[in-house]
Amino acid sequence: MILIMALIAPSLLAADFLKLQQEVEIVNNSAAAWLHLDVMDGMFVPNISFGPMVIEFVKKIVKKPCDVHLMIEQPGRYAETFKNAGADHLTVHIEACPMLHQDITQIKSLGMKAGVAVNPHTPVALLSDILHEVSIVNLMSVNPGFGGQQFIAYTLEKIKQLKKMISERDLDVLIEIDGGVTIDNAREIINAGADVLVAGSTVFRAKDPIGAIEKLKTV
In a domain, 2, yes or no: no
Its sign, for the CA torsion 92, 94, 96, 100, is positive
In a domain, 157, yes or no: yes
Q: At what angle do helices 209-218 and 20-28 cross, to 10 degrees?
A: 40
CATH number at residue 55: 3.20.20.70
In a domain, 88, yes or no: yes
Output the pTM of the full model. 0.96
pLDDT tens sequence for the chain (219 residues): 556 789 999 999 999 999 999 999 999 999 999 999 999 999 999 899 999 999 999 999 999 999 999 999 999 999 999 999 999 999 999 999 999 999 999 999 999 999 999 999 999 999 999 999 999 999 999 997 666 679 999 999 999 999 999 999 999 999 999 999 999 999 999 999 999 999 999 999 999 999 999 999 998
Main-chain dihedrals φ then ψ at residue 216, nearest 5 degrees: -65, -35
Tally of structural domains, the chain: 1
In a domain, 208, yes or no: yes
Edge-to-edge strand ranges of the sheet holding 89-93: 7-10, 196-199, 174-178, 136-140, 113-118, 89-93, 66-71, 35-40
In a domain, 190, yes or no: yes
| Residues forming a β-bridge with 7 | 196
- Known catalytic residues? 38, 178
In a domain, 1, yes or no: no
Task: Write out the residue range of the structural domain in which residue 12 sits.
Answer: 7-218
